Amino acid sequence: MKRIYIGLIMLVLAQIVYPQEVETGLYLINLGAFNIDDGTIDVDFYISFTAAAGDVKLPDINFEIINGTEKGRYTANDLSGEKIYRVKATILVPVNLRDFPFEKHSLKIILEDKVLSISKLKFKSDKIMSGLDEAVFIPGYNIVSWNVETNTHYYPAFKEDYSQFIYYLNIEKPILNAFLKTLMPVICMVIVVLLSFFIQNSEIENRIAAITSGLLGVIMFHSSVAGQLPPIGYLTFADKVFLISYAIIIASLMITLFTMKMMKENNELAGKIYSKTKYNILFIYVIIIFFYCFFTIK
């Protein structure tokens, strides 16, 4: 009889001293469109809590989504040792658009108990009950990978640690699609502008008209691309490609204007400028864009 009492006392003391571990899994079944303007996305998932080995009963878990707003929840399974909920929510995602249009994002669903600190409850990631439904997709993005892990979050104001369960979903823009829609048009416009150097010096006015028209076209297309993004305080990858294009077009215009001036003062020098720039300026632009895109995307 003594042994039974001692065992019960030890069990009570263990639950007081050590937090109760709960196997936690998240299975994502649906996603909405990712809004880069405010960094929000709708998620629909099952969350499961299973008593760890040796425990027959779960603690009173009252979880919340730390980085979002819950829209609805219902209980799919309610047993003493296992509980499963279906949850619909909107989560917030930190948006980094420096690599636009080739940006990558990590969508996180962060769960935490509202009341129980880590001294009483500790989440343990359950990869068997976690996953991603094969029908899940995000318009305009490729899903790269998913993962689950646990973390400890310290609140200085309360001087307490809370256990967190985190589900990661890594997504990225398709490289070919992003290149064709955002960068290919501006590159083609600049190449057409630089092909105007094949126009003879005798028709240099036509060359100037082609360059200025191309510059206006690039400016308008840049405004259209920038309109797809929220107000940000840094340059994106696409912005830098446009800046390179502006520099090349303006340099072309300056060379053409200088050539026009030399045609009146030194026609031989004007001919040499024409022969040197006819191929070289196009070659320089293609090389700069190729290496910049290659090393940045890589």
Q: What is the pLDDT of residues 180-233, one digit of tens each?
A: 999 999 999 999 999 988 888 888 888 899 999 999 999 999 999 999 899 888
pTM here is: 0.83
Q: Which residues pair with 73 in a beta bridge?
A: 87
d(CA 105, CA 96): 7
Q: What is the pLDDT of residues 24-71, one digit of tens each?
A: 999 999 999 999 999 999 999 999 999 876 666 888 889 999 999 999
d(CA 99, CA 240): 10
β-strand 142-155 against 160-172: which pairing, if any?
Answer: antiparallel
The angle at the Cα of 30, spanning 105 to 61, to the nearest 5 degrees, equals 90
What residue type is 52 in one-letter code? A
β-strand 121-125 against 20-31: which pairing, if any?
Answer: parallel
CB-based contact 289:194 (threshold 8 Å): no
Residue 18: the pLDDT is 65
Length of the chain: 298
What residue type is 141 in one-letter code? Y
More confident residue, 158 or 298: 158
